[in-house]
Structure 1
């Protein structure tokens, strides 16, 4: 493996970082204060991202996307991750699941999402079905050629801005070697469909301005052409296209870790106590060294997993290790950076207290740290029959 970046990748990193500093950083304080992103600002960020060639960069060129490989996308996401999440997610990566669209679905959902005309969101999590997806209670039953959806979802990110939902619902049961399990089907549901309601979610301390929502389905009728993929094959759709999402989380964690470490390093070099810069005290300098080590380890794991994905060699445990390492490194780096700043680190005048708050959710969403450890250990033990 070549650990160096190509000229194109270096230019991509520079372009993305310049975009973040010019188009996103200036609005972070506003989003923190108002806990929202103005509709006109949403449109502005999307339009500027389209102009910069950063929008839908994960989608194949043949579909109108940027056609970046996984390593390059991780580099982009790392730079975007430096900014407040409510802003940088607008530089969208339409869900790769949409590549499963066929026929009229492509014109109605896939291509508008790539062009920035429509925003999608994924609806899987429920109040009683978080990590245990198979226990979902939101159901879809067939009625003639239609499907009728009933149930609720929660913690559905940016559903308030989305034009349509990629919904996972239980559609019966099947026998497996490990007992009966629910079959899952994936649907495309337009906002405004009768029987479908988007409700406000919960107020989170992490990622202000980036809202989670609750979805309610009551006798929501969908025609057969709203099925994404094949009926009862929802997990196959998810497994085919969602493998890289944990790498995206890992990469954005790297971006915030870089920013926190840079802030702490600059502070340690400038702040003076007892007649010298605080960075000259081992209590501070050793923290910086440990933070750098954690970040470098997480970055190598993430780019390694991304490289394996590009080579069609990535295993579930590769993405799990990247997500686990990067999210936990961010938590420690943000905490140590704040410690180096002392009391000033907790003040809203600096971005560090936001990075510290935002870091906490990364060990929970897209699979908790415990789930990642389960994936890794299962891969180790299964070949031995354990």
Structure 2
């Protein structure tokens, strides 16, 4: 696959090495483990020999973060994701323990865990979801109560991928029930809970529709005694720590959708070129060509988005939108690509001797884990609108006397004095003329009038009381305003609101 022009020489070499190693070592192991529904221990051991568990760990602790970075992590996970599910414990260790400890741990914690993670001796698992807190992760109910040098933890976690196999569990627990802390998002704290902690055990092992061979578990904490020295950051910083790691987590949850897309294309093309029906290879049938074309452009765009997000993360940029888009688009694309691959391959597509049926089942997990596609769209909308705020501002428009229709101005008009409610009503009425059906924000009105916030509120409330204006309020106060029909009549005569394009025949108008 393409090596992007912004990749370093070290990252290019890593990509070549990862592809060769995956083809020669991991794919034979991974496919066998999947068919046997066996946890990919041998693949994990093989990956450990490459030093890839230390991709996001600084050189000081034995890793290669300065050399490979998030881009390198994405490269490794893309390639290894072609080999069944062996990439998953690698990924959960990267973003489920290593990055959190690197960025939020103290020196003692880093020395205690990072060298062993780097060697592949410790597997990590990130645990957020609870029976009653999923997408609303701020609603975590499991509690951690401090008693001296320990926290006594009670609660449950569920849907934890690679739980049971993992050694380190990145957990978030409720440490304050005060309403003011909940409002300020300082009610949670972050902990590394180690396998073998008394009172910490597997409650259920789920049998999922995909990810064959991977453990997916419920965890139970019953008066589990966790040392204060296992808390990351200060008490109350759990939400901040959780959010700080989500962008990298989402990028690295998008990366493992790329390998399966490539495998779907590979096996589909093999089938289409070698399957003859109606006297010719079915790759000559246009509908099959269209499906493969769709798979290819989805892969190209998925890779571009994922590696752009990884590159920006390596530059130290905050990338909530890029991470959300990469996770959503790549996982949705994989789902569609897998379905198309199965369809193109017909009966062979649903046979376990080919990986496409497994990829189809696994793809649904990718649309849910680390933020559902729906939650990601909310993030894209909210953060995206903020990021694009300056570009989304619509210019002032006025009725152009030449064509007798609204046109945007190159520069805003000088603001008129806002001396009374009549001046405000005139602006609201003029807005109806230019933007019929739309309210005005407070900022919109102030683009036309030189007026203080207090006076504007006062005049709008006077107009509302007189039935001349309709107002929409939020908890912060007046948000939107418009002139009522009565207000329009009071502001200007009826002919003021009339305008007709020059193409309209006056004889047809009334």
Q: Same fold (TM over 0.5)?
A: yes
Shift of residue 91, structure 1, vs aligned partner? 4.2
Query: Whose radius of gyration is greater, 1 or 2?
Result: 2
- What is the aligned partner in structure 1 of residue 81 from structure 2? 81
1:32-70 Cα shifts (integer Å, max 9, x gaps) = 333222xxx61x434422333323222222221122122
Structure having greater relative contact order (Cα 8 Å, sep ≥ 6): 1
> How far apart are the structure 2 equivalents of 1:150 and 1:270?
58
> How far apart are the structure 1 equivalents of 2:154 and 2:201?
11
**Does the 8 Å contact 1:78/1:253 carry over to 2?**
yes
Shift of residue 220, structure 1, vs aligned partner? 1.6
> How far apart are the structure 2 equivalents of 1:255 and 1:281?
26
- What is the aligned partner in structure 2 of residue 49 from structure 1? 47
> How far apart are the structure 1 equivalents of 2:75 and 2:366?
18
| Matching residue within 3, 6, 9 for 2:5 | 3
| Matching residue within 25, 28, 32 for 2:27 | 25
**Does the 8 Å contact 2:211/2:362 carry over to 1?**
yes
> How far apart are the structure 1 equivalents of 2:276 and 2:26?
31
1:182-237 Cα shifts (integer Å, max 9, x gaps) = 61111122222222112332110110111111111111222321211111101222
> How far apart are the structure 2 equivalents of 1:366 and 1:90?
15
**Does the 8 Å contact 2:11/2:71 carry over to 1?**
no
Shift of residue 134, structure 1, vs aligned partner? 1.1
| Matching residue within 11, 14, 17 for 1:15 | 17
> How far apart are the structure 2 equivalents of 1:315 and 1:14?
27
Q: How does 1:207-218 map to 2 (within 5 A)?
A: 207-218=211-222
**Does the 8 Å contact 2:31/2:83 carry over to 1?**
no
Shift of residue 122, structure 1, vs aligned partner? 1.4
**Does the 8 Å contact 1:121/1:165 carry over to 2?**
yes
> How far apart are the structure 2 equivalents of 1:177 and 1:218?
25
> How far apart are the structure 2 equivalents of 1:76 and 1:132?
31
1:349 aligns with 2:347: no
- What is the aligned partner in structure 1 of residue 371 from structure 2? 367
| Matching residue within 338, 341, 353 for 1:337 | 341
TM-score (norm 2): 0.70
Structure 1 segments unaligned to the other structure (5+ residues): none
Q: How does 1:32-111 map to 2 (within 5 A)?
A: 32-37=34-39, 42=41, 44-67=42-65, 68-85=68-85, 87-91=86-90, 93-94=93-94, 95=97, 96-99=99-102, 100-111=104-115
1:219-277 Cα shifts (integer Å, max 9, x gaps) = 12223212111111012222333421111111110111011111112221221111111
TM-score (norm 1): 0.91
- What is the aligned partner in structure 1 of residue 420 from structure 2? none
| Matching residue within 327, 337, 342 for 1:323 | 327
Shift of residue 319, structure 1, vs aligned partner? 0.2
Please identify runs of 4+ aligned residues in structure 1 that moved more than 6 A: none
> How far apart are the structure 1 equivalents of 2:183 and 2:302?
37
- What is the aligned partner in structure 2 of residue 250 from structure 1? 254
Tell me: CA distance 1:264–1:165, structure 2 relative to 1, closer, same or farther (3 Å).
Answer: same
- What is the aligned partner in structure 1 of residue 292 from structure 2? 288
Structure 2 segments unaligned to the other structure (5+ residues): 393-440, 442-478, 480-510
| Matching residue within 206, 221, 224 for 2:225 | 221
- What is the aligned partner in structure 2 of residue 159 from structure 1? 163
Tell me: CA distance 1:22–1:199, structure 2 relative to 1, closer, same or farther (3 Å).
Answer: farther
Question: CA RMSD, aligned part only?
Answer: 2.3
> How far apart are the structure 2 equivalents of 1:376 and 1:214?
30
Shift of residue 6, structure 1, vs aligned partner? 4.5
> How far apart are the structure 1 equivalents of 2:110 and 2:11?
30
Number of residue pairs the alignment of both structures matches: 380
1:295-314 Cα shifts (integer Å, max 9, x gaps) = 11111111111111122224
**Does the 8 Å contact 1:198/1:213 carry over to 2?**
yes
